[in-house]
Amino acid sequence: MLGNAPSKNVRRIATQILIGVGIFSAVVAVATLAYCLEGWTFSDAIYMVFITIFGVGYGEVEPVNTPLLRVTTILTIIAGPVATVYIIGALVKIITEKEFQKALADHRKLKTMDEMKRHTIICGFGRIGQTIARELVKAGQPFLVLDRDAERIAQSEGLGYLTLEGDAGDEDILARAHIDSARNLAAVLPNDMVNVFITLTARNMQPALRIIARAENPATEKKLRQAGANDVIMPAFAGGMQIAHRITRPSLAGVLDSDSSFLKNDLEELGVEIGETAIDAASHLAGQTLAAFVDGVKGRCIVLAIRHTDGTHSQHPAPHSPLVTGDRIISLIRKSA
């Protein structure tokens, strides 16, 4: 509803401008016709109308010595400037109202940013960044788009996403994005070295932040992990593996496809689902063993793996396996009846 208010105001002010132009045109037409009826040429008549309306004061073109000419001149002196002021006022109003709406939108954006907690910062709004944003919207998770390209900023704002313009490697910009209260950061720019720098800066500012970084060159993975990335995604490698799986195991790949709902629906029919539990600094499981997690769910799950902060996995971990901040427990959970 807030988004429709500015457009309604613009339409209302545009109508006022059209009314003002209509009145002004009518004054010019009627006054010119009146002068012509008194025997003036058209060029003299319209010239007289304009110098009268705008108060130029060059003097009368022809003698104004009849009642009709005098009444016409008086009405032109009154109505012409009124219509002109009406039009100018509407134009000024639409300019100031547009600025006011922009300032109000900026205030709302800053207020929303100040209130954000446990959000995701998406650094780069290219194809991968746009995909991440769409999925986070579906999941109902808060996020902020950070990019320095004006066209991408406009695209993000056009989609209604909370957006901040600036360099993601700048500490001041990351502070404005409230990295101190963020849960995740995705460095998905197409330049590997830029992603390394963003990762290093973000890790120094927020040691507990979960960072997922993009890499085009496999050799960059090590640098990203050394810089502090929890997960490194290589789109070219992942895409190649998916294509290979569809060639070598087409049926299995189709069933396990993340975009397919077949497996999810089948699991739901069996009364189970795949869950992921994050162990953060505030979790009561931090410093405990896996047995504490299993006891907490009262035997309703099977632990498949623990994903560690360095990106490695412990498959079918033992109950005495320690849980540390940053670990994520992947489990098959039986739903409550």
Which CATH entry fits the domain spanning 4-113: 1.20.140.10, 3.40.190.10, 1.10.287.70, 1.10.30.50? 1.10.287.70
> Digits of tens for pLDDT over the chain (337 positions)?
334 444 566 677 677 778 888 888 888 888 888 888 888 888 888 888 888 887 766 667 777 777 887 788 888 888 878 888 877 877 777 677 665 566 556 656 666 666 788 899 999 999 999 999 999 999 889 999 999 999 999 999 889 898 888 999 999 999 989 999 899 999 999 999 999 999 999 999 999 999 999 998 888 999 999 999 998 988 887 777 777 767 776 655 554 554 555 556 656 656 667 778 888 888 888 888 888 888 877 667 788 888 887 777 787 788 888 898 888 888 877 766 5
| pLDDT number for residue 267 | 62
Instruction: Produce one character per residue of 206-232: b if its CB has 16 or more CB atoms within 10 Å, e if not.
Output: beebbbbbbbeeeebbebbbebbbbbb
Residues whose CB falls within 8 Å of the CB of residue 226, separated by 6 or more in sequence, listed in order: none
| pLDDT number for residue 147 | 94
Sign for the CA dihedral angle at 114, 118, 123, 129 comes to negative
Phi, psi of 319 (to 5 degrees): -60, -30
DSSP state of 57: -
Determine contact, residues 53/30, Cβ cutoff 8 Å: no
- Cα 125 to Cα 269: distance, rounded to the nearest angstrom: 37
Q: Which CATH architecture has domain 261-334?
A: 2-Layer Sandwich (3.30)
| pLDDT number for residue 3 | 42
pTM over 0.75: no
Cβ-in-10-Å burial (0-12, 13-18, 19+) of 120 comes to: buried
Nearest Cα to Cα of residue 303 among 265, 284, 277, 270 = 277
- Cα 96 to Cα 187: distance, rounded to the nearest angstrom: 38
Residues whose CB falls within 8 Å of the CB of residue 166, separated by 6 or more in sequence, listed in order: 146, 148, 172, 173, 176
Partners of 164 in beta bridges: 146
Tokens read off for 284:
């009561």
CATH 3.40.50.720 assigned to domain 117-237? The reply is yes
Determine contact, residues 137/201, Cβ cutoff 8 Å: no
CA atoms within 13 A on the CB side of 302: 7
| pLDDT number for residue 2 | 38
Tokens read off for 124:
């780069």
Domain edges within the chain: 4-113, 117-237, 261-334
